[in-house]
Structure 1
Amino acid sequence: MNIGTIRKGKLNLITDVEGIAVGNAEDAHVRTGVTVVLPDEAAIAAVDVRGGGPGTRETDALDPDCLVDAVHGLVFSGGSVYGLDAASGAVAWLGARGRGYALGNSPLVAPVVPSAILFDLTNGGNKDWGEEPPYRALGRAACEKAERHFSLGNAGAGFGARAGLLKGGLGSASAVSEDGLKVGALIASNPFGSVVMPGSRAFWAAPYEMDGEFGGHGWPGEMSGLAARDPFDETKAALAGITPGTNTTIGVVAVNADITSAEARRLAIMAQDGLARAIRPVHAPVDGDVIFVLATGKVALGPENRAGRLAWLGSIAADCVARSVARGVYEAESLGGAASYRERYGK
């Protein structure tokens, strides 16, 4: 297999991996939203959880030792614990269309739809929803809108997100090799840590940027002494009031390779390093960082040097994750008290 030069995909979205669709739905009044990722066919899946305050659904089922190795969709939502209900809406939508595991002689199917949530409950939106949170309906609405083209920034699960002291958002990026391997990432960025370097407008993810996709500002000219700089420089104002579980960066990496569930798990572990390349500090006690992997299996890795090829996929996946974090913040618009990157630093 000759990997050759790496370039971004035509759309520079996770949907450059054929067989993947993304749908976003938002409630501007509540300042929240939901993103669904739907494979055309059940896809091999895995997950890696690193944050200290995760909120997830059906992630245990993805352990390689368990029965389930493929899923029918993934859901990412704002709303903290309330947002987990978005997956119920997606399950109902998929089940009504016969997309799920057959259940013997039952007319029903069982869609497997793991999910992860982020915290956006204190962003100023009207959360007075009583006993009817909007997330189940948003999950269904996002499924209805699933396609290859979708919005970034204040969209879907990134609608009400924050990134340190900046407005967070939904980001995506892709990479394609000369011989047809494709990797894409989709990330909803709501981290406690900062995505920009102290004293500059440079993204931590700058070395991985392709074609100015998040401003093309590069790195500052003086890079010495980074280890001595305060990692909380950009987030000090939030330190006094942090609450466990009030942040989180969540997302998924998709590949077109024919990997196993165990290999997908390794890919998810490697992909988490993309968050470390784009956010500082990361995986904090108040974050709930979760990365899924979906594999459509359309391109064979082959038996020769399979471990090396999987390592290459993991490295590129981490780059795509880092790029997606920065793109989501760069594309976001100011909302409430959270200033956008472009409002604070310019384009």
Structure 2
Amino acid sequence: MAKPGSRNAITDVPGIQVGQAHDESVRTGVTVILPDQRAACGVDVRGGGPGTRETDAVQPHTLVDAIDAIVLSGGSSYGLAAADGVAAALGSRRRGFELFPSPEIPVSPVVPAAILYDLANGGDKDWGEATPYPGLGREALANVSGEVREGRAGAGYGASAGRLAGGVGTASVVTHDGYTIGAIVAVNCFGSVRVPGSDAYWAAPYEIDNEFGGVPLPSGPFDPDDWGDAKFNPAAGTNTTIACIATDAVLDPAGCMRMAQMASAGFARAIRPVFTPLDGDTVFALATGGKEMAEPSAFTLSRLGSLAADCLARAIAKGVHAAQAARA
């Protein structure tokens, strides 16, 4: 029977570490997902207001076949600069893509990124021409480890999930035949993660071992036009849920892209409404390549994608649940 890994975190996937940093006064932060070695990557963008970097570069038909790190950040468009800090630090280690291998030619770190909007959360955003994000990116990279703090941390430090506090969540699952899948997410959605009039999370059917409170879904019908704790009258671009999925299976970029597409279903299992014109929902998928795919590989990929969606739904609920606990 499939079950969570020892940490119930994306870092249960062999070869994956996570680092986080935040600025309390600005009320924002950055999360970095760092594979030990360059990893195959895919991406799926479903929201109507995305903010991303290098998502075109990881398409299956391009020259780039692996990435060096993934960055999730607050700060809206300013937050994309966090990836600049990460890329500069990795480049100084000579980690990146080399078109012409030579010690005299800098490498090109490939650091895709996605951002969420936390500019209106009351923090001090008077940074002039020097934003905090490159420094937060470098700090998060320096903090990488196997431990992942949930709730008000990293990219989710200044986030809100509908009318609830948002945050960072993570989860994992290990299959009976030894594949590991993990998810990490920063939840800043327009929609609600809870059933209207209830403390139950929409992701409740996927919960394992009461990891986000163990409240079952209420019985009986609900109003399909009731969005519960969704945000009211949001301004365009003020919401987004951004995530990264990882597995130890051997996948190429096309396989990673398919896994990212399937994992996006986890958003729909945990948030209502989702993929709105007001969200920038984005999922990256990484494959560290430690375990060969069982044949038929299409069936194994289908399993991994389905488990990734469940894992992402759990991570969303876990992140918001941890943020509420921190506020209590």
Distance, in Å, in 2 between the alignment partners of 1:149 and 1:51 is 29
Task: Report the number of matched residues.
Answer: 326
1:306-325 alpha-carbon deviations (Å, 9 max, x no partner): 11111110110000000000
For 1:271, the aligned partner's letter is: A
Which consecutive residues of structure 2, in runs of 5 or more, have no partner in the other structure? none
Distance, in Å, in 1 between the alignment partners of 2:215 and 2:228 is 20
Name the SS of the counterpart of 1:37 in structure 2.
strand
Structural mapping, 1:297-316, within 5 Å: 297-302=289-294, 304-316=295-307
**TM-score, normalised to structure 1's length?**
0.92
Structural mapping, 1:270-285, within 5 Å: 270-285=262-277
Q: 1:342 to 1:140 in 2, by over 3 A?
A: closer
For 2:232, the aligned partner's letter is: L
For 2:229, the aligned partner's letter is: E
Q: CA deviation at 1:305?
A: 1.8
2:147 to 141, 146, 149: 149
Preserved contact between residue 73 and residue 113 of structure 1 (Cα < 8 Å): yes
- Residue number in structure 2 paired with 1:80: 76
Asked if 1:247 is matched to 2:245, the reply is no
Asked if 1:126 is matched to 2:119, the reply is no
**TM-score, normalised to structure 2's length?**
0.97
Q: CA deviation at 1:164?
A: 0.2
Q: CA deviation at 1:341?
A: 6.2
- Residue number in structure 2 paired with 1:324: 315
RMSD over aligned CA atoms reads 1.2
Q: Which runs of 4+ in 1 moved over 3 A?
A: none
- Residue number in structure 2 paired with 1:10: 6
Which consecutive residues of structure 1, in runs of 5 or more, have no partner in the other structure? 333-339
Distance, in Å, in 2 between the alignment partners of 1:231 and 1:323 is 22
Asked if 1:232 is matched to 2:223, the reply is no
For 2:284, the aligned partner's letter is: F
2:66 to 63, 70, 75: 70
2:109 to 108, 111, 114: 111
Name the SS of the counterpart of 1:239 in structure 2.
coil
Asked if 1:291 is matched to 2:278, the reply is no
For 1:178, the aligned partner's letter is: H
For 2:299, the aligned partner's letter is: G
Preserved contact between residue 172 and residue 327 of structure 1 (Cα < 8 Å): yes
For 1:329, the aligned partner's letter is: V
Asked if 1:175 is matched to 2:173, the reply is yes
For 1:325, the aligned partner's letter is: I
- Residue number in structure 2 paired with 1:56: 52
